[in-house]
Structure 1
Amino acid sequence: MTKHRIYSMSFASVYPHYITKAEKKGRTKSEVDEIIRWLTGYSQQELEAQIEEKTNFESFFEQAPQLNPSRSLVKGVICGVRVEDIEEPLMREIRYMDKMIDELAKGKAMEKILRK
């Protein structure tokens, strides 16, 4: 089976789009970073290093220090597919991040986005 092409895309190439999406709705880069750190366990310095190294999505999630156990609480539809129904583990991780950034752009409170 062929891997989905997003797996080999650099996280750094998509990251600016997350920020733009959030900023268009009055949210901030620091909020985007907070979501990514919550989800992956990266520190801000580690996150910036991953971006600078242009790490692909597959490696970005493989190298994540501590995937948040509460990420399974992220539910809903992204790109027409229910996040909780995605069987491919890496695609599900990517879609968790997409869904959380969407929630940020839609004005949801950070406490709710971070499932507190």
Structure 2
Amino acid sequence: MTKPRIYTMSFASVYPHYVAKVEKKGRTKAEVDEVIRWLTGYTQEGLESQLERQTDFEAFIAEAPRPNPSRRSIKGVVCGVRVENIEEPLMQEIRYMDKLIDELAKGKSMEKIFRE
């Protein structure tokens, strides 16, 4: 079975789309970075290093220093699929990120996004 294409795409190629999506709604690149850091445990320097290295999604998720345990409380639908029901762990992690970016673009407060 072949891997889904997203696994081999560089995270850096998708990242600008995340930023553009939230900036259209009045949010910022700094907030995108904050959401990604919260989810993965990367420092800002670590995140920037991954972007510079053109790391693919599979490695970006695998190398995440401290995936946030609260990510398991992320619920909802992304691309027509409930993130909490995704069985493949890597795809679920990618969809968690997509869901948080969607919530940021929809204007949710950081406290709600971070499930505080």
How high is the TM-score relative to the length of structure 2? 0.99
State the partner residue of 1:83. Answer: 83
CA distance, structure 2, for counterparts of residue 26 and residue 5 of structure 1:
30
RMSD after superposition: 0.4
For structure 1, which runs of at least 5 residues remain unmatched after alignment? none
State the partner residue of 1:9. Answer: 9
Residue 2 (structure 1) shift: 1.2
Q: May I ask how many residue pairs the two structures share in their alignment?
A: 116
Give 1:20's aligned amino acid.
Answer: A
SS where residue 50 of structure 1 aligns? helix
Give 1:36's aligned amino acid.
Answer: I
CA distance, structure 1, for counterparts of residue 18 and residue 73 of structure 2:
21
User: Share of identical aligned residues, percent?
Assistant: 73
Structure 1 residues 54-65: aligned runs within 5 Å: 54-65=54-65
Residue 79 (structure 1) shift: 0.2
- Any idea what the Cα deviations from partners look like across 1:83-107, whole Å, max 9, x if unmatched? 0000000000000000000000000
For structure 2, which runs of at least 5 residues remain unmatched after alignment? none
How high is the TM-score relative to the length of structure 1? 0.99
- Show structure 1 runs of 4+ deviating over 6 A: none
